[in-house]
Amino acid sequence: MNSAKKIILLFFIVLGMTLPVLVYGAEHGGLGSGEIESFRPMSASQQAAQVAAGLYIKPAYMLITVLLIAVLAGQPARPMRALFWGLIAFLIGETFCAVNFIVYRHQSLVSEYLHSYGMVLAFGLLTYSLLDVLDLRLHPSAHPVLSRQIALFSIPMTAILAFLPLTVSTAPTDYQTDLFGVSYSYARFGFYQWYESRLLPWIALACMAFAWAALWTRQKAPIPPVTKMFFSAGVGALGFAIFRVTLGALYAQDLVWFEFWEELTELMMVVSVTFILWQYQPELFAFLRLRRRSDS
């Protein structure tokens, strides 16, 4: 990728980060944060779940992510580069999540939004990496007609799922609680829910439309890179939207479980990526074997 393309890509990343804040702020006269007045007690098991999520599960997958970034640094293969930047976006987003958890007790709109944005970028880049792996393994260029037909069918089928979060009713939830003697708060502010269940699905639909149009206009060409790029971006936005909307619907009144299952599924995702790399690219972890031999 040349310098001009890198600058354009960076511009759209920054624009995608700032535009939702500006639009929501203009429409609602701000981001809608305020004092949290209601109080709900937590059981001992709920408090233990929050401590486990914040102090054990989150540090575990962040450390694994740092390890993966280290082993992927400098890898020339395109799937590895996409995975590398996806993990960096994921780590940055989770760093802001940790700041919101430890410092602001879930009351920082900016920290939580940057966490969400990092997750959207990570989902999209991981999808792009997976599509690159499929290109290398399945060789769709050897069957361009079949590959193109599958893509023409798959893109609108995926786009239909964007209507799922659009039809979900939203209701902000926030309350104070007590976490082993420490004042703590949970919040699903209106800005979060607007971003996850309204804006991201429309972004996903737009990306799918661009991906499908780019493919349709090139009748005899193989699947163009721009189609894969927009499709990945759409899956990133849609995947995160459905993930958050699902957790929000299941645990609207018990946000501690929203937090716990989000952290646990993120640990599962990072462990899965590590396992797949270990199975198919074991040479990336050769330094671990060398160290084990030196210790023995």
**By CB neighbour count within 10 A (0-12 exposed, 13-18 middle, 19+ buried), where does 58 fall?**
buried
Q: What is the pLDDT of residue 251?
A: 93
Residues 237, 207 contacting (CB under 8 angstroms)? yes
φ/ψ region of 207 (left if φ > 0, alpha if ψ in -120 to 50, else beta) reads alpha
Tell me phi and psi for residue 175, to 5 degrees. -160, 155
Among 273, 277, 296, 281, smallest CA distance to 87 is for: 273
Angle at 20 between CA 239 and CA 50, to 5 degrees: 55
pLDDT at 7: 82
Q: What are phi and psi of 219, to 5 degrees?
A: -60, -40
CA atoms within 13 A on the CB side of 89: 22
- Residue 129, pLDDT score: 95
Give the residue among 34, 31, 15 at the shortest CA–CA distance from 174: 34
pLDDT at 260: 97
Residue 113 neighbours by CB distance under 10 Å: 22
CA distance 210 to 233: 11
**Length of the chain counted residue by residue:** 296
pLDDT < 50 regions, the chain: none
Secondary element (H or E) of residue 40 = none
Say how many CA atoms lie within 13 Å of 183 toward its Cβ.
7
Burial (CB count <10 Å: 0-12, 13-18, 19+), residue 232: buried
> Which DSSP helix (H) or strand (E) runs through 87?
helix 78-102
* DSSP bridge partners of 186: 175
What is residue 290's predicted lDDT score, i.e. its pLDDT?
55
C-alpha span between 62 and 64 (Å, rounded)? 5
Cα separation, 111 vs 198, in Å, equals 20
Question: Which pLDDT does position 4 carry in this prediction?
Answer: 75
The burial class, CB within 10 Å (0-12 / 13-18 / 19+), for 182 is: exposed
Average pLDDT, the chain: 89
- For the stretch 137-167, pLDDT in tens is 776 666 677 888 889 999 999 999 999 999 9
Looking at residue 140, what is its pLDDT? 65
pLDDT value, residue 139: 67
pLDDT tens across 71-99, in order? 999 898 889 999 999 999 999 999 999 99
Query: Which token pair is 266?
Result: 């993120």
